[in-house]
Structure 1
Amino acid sequence: SRGRSRSRGRSHSRGRIHGREESRKADSDIVPNIPRFTPKRIPGVQPPLTFVKKSPLDIFSQYFDKGVINFLCANTNENAVRNLEREIKKYIGLLRYMGVMDLPKVRDFWRKKTLFHVTFPVTVMPRDRFLAISCNLHISDPMEDAENDKKRGTEEYDCLHREQPLLDIMRNRCMSIYHPRQHISVDERMIATKARISFKQYMKAKPTKWGIKLFVLADVNGYTIDFKIYTGKSKFASGKGLSFDVVTSLVNRDYLGSGYVIYCDNFYTSPLLFRHLHQLGFGTCGTYREGRVGVPSTKQNALNKRSPRGSIRWIRNDVLLFVKWMDTREFILVTMCTTIHTVYSGETVLRWQTTEDGRKEKVPVPRPTAVQQYNKYMGGVDTSDQMLGTNSVHRKTRKWYMTIFQHFLDIAVTNSFILHKELCAIHHDKHMTRQNFQELLAAQLTGVPLDGSPRERCDHLPVPVSNTQNLSERASMGRRRCIRCKRSTPWKCQECDVMWDYACS
C-alpha cells in the first residue's frame, strides 16, 4: 500500500506540473506581448494651460474659442434671418389685413370681450410682438444714421438718410418690372403727416394739404413708374426752375426710350421745358399760365368772356402750339400748349345749353384736339392716388420715415394689382377685384388659407394634464405645446381634450 501511495502521489504531482506548463503555453498564445509605453506627448494637461493659472472661462474657451463662437453666430444669424423673414412677411400681411378691415386703432385688432372683437390677428402674431416689430423696424443702418445726425445744419446732412436705401430699391423695382405705354403724366402727390420735419409742405389745392410732397411719373392706368421726394431747394439745381428739374429727372430717355408723350399741368408747362423734351424725342402737352416766360403775350385774336362758346384761337411758334378754348361751363377759358397735336380735328363735346323757350338740352361744342387728349391721359397720377387711398396701410406713427415706409407698401400693392390685371389680359383670364386681390395677398403673407376661418375662442374649463398630488411636479409633468399659441403648457381643455394655454385666450 505504501508503494502504491507513492506512485499515485508522483503521478498526481507530475500531472499538476504538466498541467501548469500547458496553461502557460495557452496563455502565451492568447495574450500578445505589450510594447513599451511611449506616448507622443506628456500625459495630462497640455501647454499653454500649464504655464499660468487659468480661470474657468479660460479653460472653457479652449473648447469654445472665438472661431467656434463666430461660426455659431454666423449660422444662428442666418437661421434668424430665415425666421425673421417669415415674421416680417406676417407683419406686412397684418398691415395689409388692417388696411382692408380699417379699425380706428392698431390695438383694436386684439381687443377681447367686445362686440368688435376680431379673431384673426391673434392667431398670426401676439399684439405685443406686433407692436415690438413696429417699434424696432428700421430701414437704414443705425450707426450711419448717428453719423448723419451729427451733420445736421450743414450741407452734407441728408434729410432722407433713413429712407434712402428703401427709396432706391422701390424706384428701381417700379421701373424694372413694368415699362409704360406711350402716354404718361407728371404730377404731385401728398403723403399726409403732422411730423415736425423741415421738408413738410402745404398745398392748398390738394385734399391732403399738409404732408410730404412727391413728384410722380405715372402711366395712364395708375401705375407709379418713378417718384421723387421733394426736400426743398437742391444744391444740384440747374437754374432753369424747379418744374424743369423735376420733369427732366423723372423723364429719363435712357430708361424710357423715345416717342413718349408727357402730360403735365400749368406748374410744369413752359416753352423752355417743352423745347428741351422735343429735342430729346418726347412729345409734350399741358395747360400753361399766362405771363410765363416764353408764352406769347399778344392780344390779337384773343378770347374773353364775351367770346362765343366753343371758340378756338391758336398761335404757333416753331414746334410749340398755343391753343385757347372757351368752355361752356361758366365760360372757363382753357389754355393749352402742345408739341404733337393739331389745333382741331373735328372733336366735339356735349354741353348743356338753355334754349329760347327755357328748356335745357345738350348741344355739341367744338373742342381742340389737345384738350381732348389732355383729359384722356392726364389722370394717371390722380388714378394712382385714388387707388393708393383705398384700403391704405397708413397708420398713425411718431416716426416720419415709417409714414413713408407705409406709403411704399401701398405703392407696391397698387402696382402689383395693376400687373395682375395686365397679366390676366395677356392670358385672357378674368382678373380679381382690388379687394379680393388684397385679401388674397394678406392671406398669403400671413401663411393662412383665405377660405379658412380662425379658431373660435374656447370657453371650456381648463384642467391640469397631470393628476399628481405633488404640487411641485404638477407644473412640469405632461407639458406639451398649445394648439393656438404653440407655447409649452401643462393645461388642457376639459371638453375638447386638447392642449390649451388659457393665457392665450
Structure 2
Amino acid sequence: MSKNRFFHIMGYMHFSNNKSPKASTDRAWKIRPVVDVLQRTFARGYRVPPVISFDEATLPSRSRYNPTRQFNKDKPHKWGTKVFVAACAKTAYCMIIEVYCGAKAHLRTPIAKDNNSGEAAVLRNVNALCPPSPTSPWRLVITDRFYTSVKLALELLHRRVYLTGTIQTDRSGYAKNVITKKKTRTVNKQNVMVPPQGTTKFAENKQFPQLTAVMWMDRLPVHMLSTGGSRRSSTVMRRVHGEMKAVPAPELVRDYHRWMGGVDVHDQLRMQRYSVQLAYKTRKYYKTLFRGLFDMALVNAFIVHRYYRKVNNKRPPKHFAFLETLMEQLLAIDSVEAFATIEVTSYKCAGANSGVSSERWIYAAT
C-alpha cells in the first residue's frame, strides 16, 4: 500500500456517529466504541491477578479541539488524555481502562468526602474487575497518594480487597500522631542526620485493627496507609552517597516498592521508539487517541506472548522482534517474502578499471 493511499483511507476513518444524542454528553464519544471493545478484549485475555496496580496514564495529545485534554506536569508528555489504568502488578498487563472525562461524568457515583480524591475511580474499576462476592479470593490493590484514603481502604476491605499505598497527610481520618512536622532530615551536633533513614512509626485503628498508618523516613518522610500489610521488619535497597545500601523498612513498604510500578512499566513499553501513536501526526485528535489505544493493545499482546513463552520454558522475544513478527502475520507473508531478491547491476565508473556493483532494493509489497 502506498503512502498516499494509506492517508486517503485514514481520512475516512470514524468510530462513532456524530449525530447520536450521547455525542453531546460524552466527551470521549469519538473513541467510545474503541474503548468498549478494548475493555471486553482485555478482560477476556487475562485472569484477575492477586496484586493489582492502579494508576493513571496519559495518551499524548496537544490538540485544542480534544475535549478530554488534561495537563499533568509529572508526565513525560504534559498534555494529553488522562486514562485510569488497572494493571497486573507482576506483568504490567493492562486489564481495564477508563478515559477521564471530568468530575461530572459519573453522576451516579457517590461523591467522595475528601476533596480532589480519585477513590471513586478505584472503586468503579475494582468492582468491574472483582465483583463483590463473599466467596471471592482476597486481593491487594496498590495505589499512590492521589487515590489512597481511609474511606477507600474500608470500602475495599468490605469487598475482600486489601489496600496499600502512599497517602496525603490531610486526608480525612488519617492518624495525626504519625505525621511528622519536619519535611527534611537535619544534622545534629554530632554531624549525624536525624531522624536516621529507616525510622518507622505505626498507628493502628482501634475499630479496624487491620487498618495501619505508617510514617517511614526515607530521604524525605513517606506516609502510607495499609490494610492487612505486614509490619515485620525488612530492608529495601536505597542509594546512599552514591552506593546501594540496605535500609530498614517494614514489609508493607517493601511490597509497595515491589508492586507499584505495573502501570509505569506498561507506559514505558507503550511510549518506546516503537509507538504507533508517536510515529506521525494527524490533524484529527481522535485518530491520535485511537493510535494510543492501539499501542496499549500491542503492549498487552506482547506481555501475554512473553508470559506464554516463559511458562513453556522458551526464550521470550524482544519487543522489536515481537512487533516484526506480528507485522508479518498481519500482512500474511513470511520474513523471507518481505523483500524480493536484491537486483545487482554492474557498471564502469569513470576513471576506474574495475566494475563496481550497485545494489538496489526492490520492495515486494507496494
TM over 0.5: yes
Cα distance in structure 2, aligned partners of 1:275 and 1:297: 18
Which residue of structure 1 aligns with residue 131 of structure 2?
A: 254
For residues 68-83 of structure 1, the aligned pairs below 5 Å read none
Superposition deviation, residue 162 in structure 1 = 2.1
Cα distance in structure 1, aligned partners of 2:244 and 2:142: 29
Pair 1:439–1:255, CA change in 2 (3 A):
farther
Which residue of structure 2 aligns with residue 283 of structure 1?
A: 162
Pair 1:298–1:248, CA change in 2 (3 A):
same
Which residue of structure 1 aligns with residue 119 of structure 2?
A: 244
CA contact (8 A) 2:338 2:363 kept: no
Match of 2:247 among 362, 365, 370: 365
Unaligned runs of 5+ in 1: 1-124, 354-359, 461-482, 487-503
Superposition deviation, residue 288 in structure 1 = 0.7
Match of 1:437 among 298, 322, 326: 322
Q: Which residue identity does 2:2 align to in structure 1?
A: P
SS in 1 for 2:19: helix
Superposition deviation, residue 408 in structure 1 = 1.9
CA contact (8 A) 2:140 2:163 kept: yes
Match of 1:173 among 37, 41, 48: 41
Q: 1 or 2, which has the higher helix percentage? A: 1
CA contact (8 A) 1:349 1:367 kept: no
Unaligned runs of 5+ in 2: 186-193, 346-361
Which residue of structure 1 aligns with residue 4 of structure 2?
A: 128
Which residue of structure 1 aligns with residue 52 of structure 2?
A: 184
Pair 1:366–1:452, CA change in 2 (3 A):
same
Q: 1:323 aligned to 2:211?
A: no
Cα distance in structure 1, aligned partners of 2:124 and 2:181: 35
Pair 1:189–1:301, CA change in 2 (3 A):
closer
Which residue of structure 2 aligns with residue 375 of structure 1?
A: 257
CA contact (8 A) 2:68 2:100 kept: yes
For residues 346-361 of structure 1, the aligned pairs below 5 Å read 346-347=234-235, 349=237, 352=240
Which residue of structure 2 aligns with residue 51 of structure 1?
A: none
Post-superposition Cα deviations, 1:326-363, rounded to whole Å, max 9, x if no partner, equal 12xxx31111111121223333546536xxxxxx8765
CA contact (8 A) 1:301 1:313 kept: no
Pair 1:344–1:442, CA change in 2 (3 A):
same
CA contact (8 A) 1:195 1:400 kept: yes
Q: Which residue identity does 1:250 align to in structure 2?
A: N
**Larger Rg computed on CA atoms:** 1
Superposition deviation, residue 403 in structure 1 = 1.4
Post-superposition Cα deviations, 1:197-244, rounded to whole Å, max 9, x if no partner, equal 232101111111111000100112111110100011222331116512
Match of 1:297 among 161, 170, 176: 176
Pair 1:404–1:351, CA change in 2 (3 A):
closer
Superposition deviation, residue 426 in structure 1 = 2.8
Pair 1:453–1:345, CA change in 2 (3 A):
same
Match of 2:146 among 251, 267, 270: 267
RMSD of Structure 2 on Structure 1 (CA):
2.8
Post-superposition Cα deviations, 1:176-197, rounded to whole Å, max 9, x if no partner, equal 1111321111101111111122
Which residue of structure 1 aligns with residue 95 of structure 2?
A: 225
Q: Which residue identity does 1:169 align to in structure 2?
A: V
Match of 2:221 among 329, 333, 352: 333
Q: Which residue identity does 2:52 align to in structure 1?
A: I
- TM-score w.r.t. the length of structure 2 is 0.81
Which residue of structure 1 aligns with residue 349 of structure 2?
A: none
Cα distance in structure 1, aligned partners of 2:237 and 2:294: 40
Post-superposition Cα deviations, 1:237-263, rounded to whole Å, max 9, x if no partner, equal 311165121001111222994311000
Cα distance in structure 2, aligned partners of 1:381 and 1:202: 19
Superposition deviation, residue 131 in structure 1 = 1.1
Superposition deviation, residue 435 in structure 1 = 0.9
Q: 1 or 2, which has the higher strand percentage? A: 2
Q: Which residue identity does 2:42 align to in structure 1?
A: C
Cα distance in structure 2, aligned partners of 1:332 and 1:301: 10
Cα distance in structure 1, aligned partners of 2:88 and 2:245: 33
CA contact (8 A) 2:235 2:246 kept: no
Cα distance in structure 1, aligned partners of 2:260 and 2:252: 11
Which residue of structure 1 aligns with residue 353 of structure 2?
A: none
Cα distance in structure 1, aligned partners of 2:180 and 2:257: 25
Cα distance in structure 2, aligned partners of 1:182 and 1:300: 31
Count of residues paired in the alignment: 324
Pair 1:203–1:301, CA change in 2 (3 A):
closer
Superposition deviation, residue 422 in structure 1 = 1.9
Cα distance in structure 2, aligned partners of 1:268 and 1:397: 34
Post-superposition Cα deviations, 1:394-430, rounded to whole Å, max 9, x if no partner, equal 1311111111211121111111111112221232222
Cα distance in structure 1, aligned partners of 2:296 and 2:328: 19
